[in-house]
Amino acid sequence: MKNTGFQMVKWLLAAYLVITVALPLVLLFANIRAGDIRAVVTSPQFLPMLGNSAFTTLTATIISVGLSFILAFCIHRSGIWFKAMWSIVFTIPMLIPSISHGMGLVLLFGDNGIIANLLGVNIGLYGYTGIIMGSVMYSFPVSFLLLSNAFQYEDYTTYEAAQMLGISKPRQFAAITLPNMR
């Protein structure tokens, strides 16, 4: 009896996924013609758009991973106070709907945003700057969580051995931390 209820839930879930995910994708791909794809790829705007997308993505990735590496390193390898609180503060944005990130950026840094009006500056939110800021806000919590876990579960005996051998902290960072994080 219990097993049939579980089987029914599995079938309902499978049907739901087929109707809401698979079927719309099949219909979308069924309506795409080879001529449409050729028109997009051969258009003069395609290569610049591809380059701009790659540049924007690479920039946001470097900023997000770099910032999360620095903050995770500070939390796990320094004497900073309230480590647990900082970890929560850096990962909480992961729980916020993504539209809230965009609305927050517009309300704070938009043409008529609170910070933009207080400081009297326009950061050009509606272009590269805004796309990169939004991408960093969206991807930073996940990157921080991954790197924070890597630092948390890193074997510390190698650091103790390096300290006993008299290896300096910068050399430990270069020889132990960076290869482990890679």
The string of DSSP letters for 75-130 reads HHHS--S-HHHHHHHHHGGGGS-HHHHHHHHHHHHSTT-HHHHHHT----TTSHHH
* 40-95 residue pLDDT tens: 888 999 999 999 999 999 999 999 999 998 998 888 877 788 888 888 888 888 88
DSSP secondary structure string, 20-42?
IIIHHHHHHHHT--HHHHHHHHH
* 84-127 residue pLDDT tens: 888 888 888 888 887 888 888 888 888 888 888 888 888 888 88
This prediction has a pTM of: 0.71
Q: What is the CATH number of the domain that holds 149?
A: 1.10.3720.10
Is residue 7 situated within a structural domain? no
Is residue 32 situated within a structural domain? no
pLDDT at 89: 85
Report d(CA 170, CA 168) in Å as an integer: 6
What Å distances lie between residue 1 and 7, 11, 14, 150, CA to CA? 10, 16, 20, 44
Name the DSSP class of 173. I
Is residue 36 situated within a structural domain? no
Question: Mean pLDDT: which of 56-65, 157-166, 169-178 is highest?
Answer: 56-65
How many other CB atoms are found less than 10 A from the CB of residue 83? 14
Mean pLDDT of 161-171: 78
Domain that holds residue 81: 46-181
Is residue 108 situated within a structural domain? yes
